[in-house]
């Protein structure tokens, strides 16, 4: 979608510092690769040297940035928060796809299902009995929505998403391709030489403004609900086991695995490839660093790393001490060799 620099400046209340504000802008790019018809941005003033070589037609910059050496003809838009201004402009340059508000001929919708105004169901999607979908939602090709599912307003299900029976989504939920919500949790009891399945009769509740990446799996509760709090963002290839409680504003990065009945409190962060065992609590605002293995509770605001996961500062000190010991290994061995002589009584 083409627009002018002047229009973008008005959208984000920016001050136009130099350049031609009537130049058309067609798209956006990073500052190193942007062309004359593209918009870029600088996240902070320390990156101002990039203005000396950019080919962008316009750059959103933080207020107070140095303009020395800026490429002639590049238009600069100064704002208090360049990242949020750039996001606002991206929404203008890349508007959301409009729903046709119809059910495609190739879709299968149970007669007892209810669809809100403006909701679009693409071909080869299937919607089960008693399901309620709010207004202005998009159900893409290949999605399978079970019976008695509830979906709020303005939700987007990308291709091949599966929602099992009884799952509930709030408003403004986005689920990317291939994700499965509500499959049975991994629950078995060993009796008489075999693993007996514990029936998984609970559900999954996903609150509003949650986004879930591609090929993620969130299991239904054995009893009760697995719950994902409002505003939480879940990356690709994440597994959340049965009866996990995830708070509000949590960030869960790619390839994280969370064991059953664990509690992740508000605004915690689980970095890539970290794992959390079952029945533990990750405190509010805590951070689990990449590839950490959590086997016990993590306190609020703590940062943990390694396996078993431990406080980051303490773990780094321990590693530094081990490195110092390794560097003096020969001296330690010599002391050990001399120790029997040192222990002999004096004559």
Return the active site residues: 242
Tell me the C-alpha distance between 16 and 297, whole Å: 51
Closest CA to 103 of 83, 77, 122: 122
The residue written with tokens 């105004």 in the block is: 117
Within 8 A by CB and 6+ apart from 253, the residues are 235, 238, 269, 270, 271, 272, 274, 290
SS3 216: coil
Contact between residue 48 and residue 42 where contact means Cβ atoms under 8 Å apart: yes
**What's the rounded Cα separation, in Å, for the pair 20 and 115?**
48
Q: What distance in Å separates the CA atoms of residue 204 and residue 148, rounded to the nearest whole number?
A: 12
Cα 288 from chain centroid?
Answer: 14
Distance CA 32, CA 127 (A): 46
Q: SS3 sequence, 188-199?
A: EEEECCEEEECC
Burial class (CB within 10 angstroms; exposed 0-12, middle 13-18, buried 19+) of 254:
middle
Task: Give the β-pairing of 257-258 and 275-276.
Answer: parallel
Closest CA to 255 of 223, 207, 217: 217
Q: Are residues 24 and 38 in contact, defined by beta-carbon separation less than 8 angstroms?
A: no
Strand partners, 24: 4
**Tokens standing for 26?**
């067609």
CA distance 205 to 173: 11
């Amino acid at each position: 979608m083409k627009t002018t620099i002047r229009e973008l400046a008005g959208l984000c209340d920016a001050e136009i510092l130099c350049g031609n504000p009537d130049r058309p802008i067609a798209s956006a790019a990073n500052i190193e690769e942007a062309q004359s018809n593209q918009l870029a941005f600088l996240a902070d003033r320390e990156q101002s040297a990039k203005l000396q070589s950019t080919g962008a037609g316009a750059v959103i910059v933080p207020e107070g940035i140095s303009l020395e050496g800026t490429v002639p003809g590049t238009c600069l838009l100064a704002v208090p928060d360049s990242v949020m201004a750039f996001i606002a402009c991206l929404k203008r340059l890349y508007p959301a796809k409009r729903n046709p508000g119809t059910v495609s001929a190739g879709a299968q919708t149970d007669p007892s299902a209810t669809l809100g105004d403006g909701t679009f169901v693409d071909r080869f999607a299937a919607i089960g009995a008693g399901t309620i979908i709010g207004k202005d939602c998009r159900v893409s090709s290949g999605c399978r929505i079970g019976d008695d599912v509830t979906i709020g307003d303005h939700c987007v299900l990308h291709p091949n998403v599966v929602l099992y029976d009884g799952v509930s989504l709030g408003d403004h939920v986005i689920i990317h391709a291939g994700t499965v919500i509500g499959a049975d949790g991994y629950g078995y009891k060993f009796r008489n030489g075999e693993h007996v399945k514990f029936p998984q009769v609970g559900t999954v509740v996903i609150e509003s403004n949650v986004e879930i990446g591609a090929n993620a799996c969130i299991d239904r509760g054995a009893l009760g609900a697995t719950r994902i709090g409002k505003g939480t963002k879940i990356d690709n290839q994440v597994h959340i086991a049965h009866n996990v409680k995830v708070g509000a504003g949590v960030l869960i990065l790619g390839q994280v695995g969370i064991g059953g009945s664990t509690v992740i409190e508000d605004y915690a962060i689980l970095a890539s490839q970290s794992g959390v065992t079952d029945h533990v609590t990750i405190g509010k605002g805590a951070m689990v660093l990449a590839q950490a293995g959590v086997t016990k509770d993590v306190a609020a605001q703590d940062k943990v790393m390694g396996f078993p996961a431990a406080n980051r500062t303490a773990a780094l000190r321990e590693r530094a001490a081990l490195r110092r010991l390794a560097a003096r290994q020969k001296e330690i061995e010599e002391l050990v060799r001399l120790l029997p002589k040192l222990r002999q009584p004096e004559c």
